[in-house]
Structure 1
Amino acid sequence: MVERRPWLNLLSHAVLLLGVAVVAFPVYLTFVAASHTTEAIVQAPMPLLPGGHFWDSIVKALTGQISGPGSKAPVAQMMQVSLISALIIAIAKIAISLLSAFAIVYFRFPFKMFFFWAIFVTLMLPVEVRISPTYKVVSDLGMLNSYAGLTIPLIASATATFLFRQFFLTVPDELVEAARIDGAGPMRFFKDVLVPLSSTSIAALFVIQFIYGWNQYLWPLLVTTDEKMYPIVLGIQRMISGGDAANEWNLVMATALLAMLPPALVVIGMQKWFVKGLVDSEK
């Protein structure tokens, strides 16, 4: 029997509150900076209480009313690029991983395990390692400054393929035999049996891959030179140029807040499925 001690509960709550404060304080400072003018932010010390210019900063950032030396692309446009890219990357990664894991588990073909390990070994080759040849291919194919160039090199996922393979191996053979007796072909078995059984895993991977796609910085930095194709993370960096006084920090901070919003909404909206997909032993 676990003994309840009031002082231990108090200590654990204090540690949790301290952790929340450490994480939330930079976000609060970002909100405060977005609610003041640039002149107020660059003064020392910076105000620690919200001002009255928050919505004005949000509107200016969304519509591109930026007078600083950096990028003047509308934040609404950058968020659209990031949203489309993140959705393509997440959906394509899951679709390709499902099909590749299905082929590896349920089909017999020469060198099956060789191909599986070839996919698995790519875990040791992140984008940063193969970035030069990948950029060369994308450039030769004319995919710079396009959604294809932003997403296609990032849609293969060895991790998701491995996870789906491990899950498919736990599916009872009786389900395969029952589907075969009912006259279901391979793709019908995949669509009507495996995909519904994998729904929680799909949801968890979607959250992870969406955030991965949304937070891309290095690859868009190479393949985009047109402001119209800047994703939001790259756009924040492009807005900062010159000294502190030259930048409109209130608009930069407003953009940072807007960049946090979609991933946070995805995590909050899919929290139940995300947690279930990671911890449910019966999925």
Structure 2
Amino acid sequence: MTGTGIASAGRSRRNREFWPAMAFIAPWLIGFAVFTAWPLLYSGYLALTDYDVITAPTFVGLRNFERILEDPKIARSLGNTLYYTVIQVPLHVLVALGLALLLERAGRASGFFRTAFFLPKMTPPVAVGILLLLLFNGQNGMVNGVLGWFGLDGPSWTTDPAWVKPGLVLMSLWTVGSTVVILLAALRNVPVELYDAARVDGASFLRRTTRITLPMISGTLFFVVVVDTIGAFQTFTEAYTAYFGSGNTTYSNDSALFYSIYLFQQAFQYLHMGYASAMAWLLFVVILAITVIQLIGSRRLVYYEGGRS
């Protein structure tokens, strides 16, 4: 067969395989177009309009973005979100890594504890928000009760503006189990030979952890940090349920006013859908910028078997 014939046969085979392949991925493509791509594009249009859901959108250009610069609650909610993220993400990763290291040494019991750590992740976020008010109640909450056993006076977690966000951070550790499972899988992929060689050289557990474990799982750690950062910037349900869902004004609502909550209020409470769309695009840009910074920083910190990223 000539070269032209071989090329023609190859194209014919690819054409026969193309349509069946498209049929298999068509449900995903349709779902992506309907539930992701179209809402994304339409929100970009709405960000340039004044839209209250009831009447037709009115084009206002960049007025919504100018309003963002003038709105003091934008800076407050972004500051609250950034504060929460800077504390929550490192603490979440450190606790998950510590638990994963313990599980790796648990032997046959690791399966039970892995399941036990993961189960709280299945708790509905609304229930977690209610649980927060019960556990962190400043007068009769369980957390302050435990602190009292050690002679410590617990703070007013839910009413003191200085302690609202730390309380939310601590409550977020309730769902650390999913990260524990991911890191445990990464730990079990570290070659045992590296640990054996380190033990022969007399390396301590701390040295083995810092010189072998952390570099070898740095790719997974980086993935967890990026995903947790995006999730922290979008945190909503627990804080909204605890401080806004009931309409109770006795709590320090502004201290728990995260950006996603303020966006939700503008969209569905005040029906400022155009303004909320502009806020959503600002959040997208902020998360994108932080993710790009993390990707650039990972080139020095993340190790891959084929070399550094």
Normalization by structure 2: what TM-score? Answer: 0.67
Aligned residue pair count: 259
Aligned to 2:134: 136
Task: Give 1:220 shift.
Answer: 0.9
Distance 2:285 2:120 in 1: 32
Q: Does 1:57 align with 2:84?
A: no
Alpha-carbon distance change, 42 to 106 in structure 1, aligned in 2, over 3 angstroms: same
| Unmatched runs of 5 consecutive residues or more in structure 2 | 1-9, 139-143, 145-155, 244-251, 299-303
One-letter code aligned to 1:143: W
Residue 102 of structure 1 corresponds to 101
Of 206, 220, 235, 2:262 maps to: 235
| TM superposition shift of 1:194 | 0.7
Write out aligned runs for 1:1-283 (5 A). 3-5=13-15, 8=18, 12=22, 21-22=33-34, 23-37=36-50, 43-44=55-56, 46=57, 51=59, 53-54=61-62, 56-64=63-71, 74-106=73-105, 115-140=113-138, 141=144, 142-144=156-158, 145=161, 146-156=164-174, 157-224=176-243, 225-240=252-267, 247-266=271-290
Distance 1:139 1:226 in 2: 15
Displacement after TM superposition at 1:148 (Å): 0.5
Bigger RCO of structures 1 and 2 (CA < 8 A, at least 6 apart):
1
Cα displacement (A) at 1:127: 4.1
Aligned counterparts of 1:255 and 1:105: Cα–Cα separation in 2: 43
Compute the displacement of 1:171 (Å). Answer: 2.2
> Deviations for 1:135-191, whole angstroms, at most 9, x for unmatched residues?
212222522242202211113511211222222223233222222233322122112
Q: Which runs of 5+ in 1 are unaligned?
A: 65-72, 275-279
Report if the CA contact (8 A) 2:96-2:180 is conserved.
Answer: yes
Q: Quote the Cα distance in structure 2 between the aligned partners of 1:76 and 1:160.
A: 30
TM-score by length of 1: 0.73
Q: Which secondary structure does the structure 1 equivalent of 2:190 belong to?
A: coil
Work out whether residues 85 and 213 of structure 1, in 8 Å CA contact, stay in contact via their aligned partners in 2: yes
Q: How well do the aligned residues superpose, as a CA RMSD in angstroms? A: 4.0
Specify whether residues 74 and 124 from structure 1 end up closer, same or farther in structure 2 by C-alpha distance, changes over 3 A only. Answer: closer
Q: 1:155 to 1:282 in 2, by over 3 A?
A: farther
The residue type paired with residue 183 of structure 2 is: F
- Larger gyration radius, structure 1 or structure 2: 2
Cα distance between partner residues in 2 of 1:204 and 1:191: 19
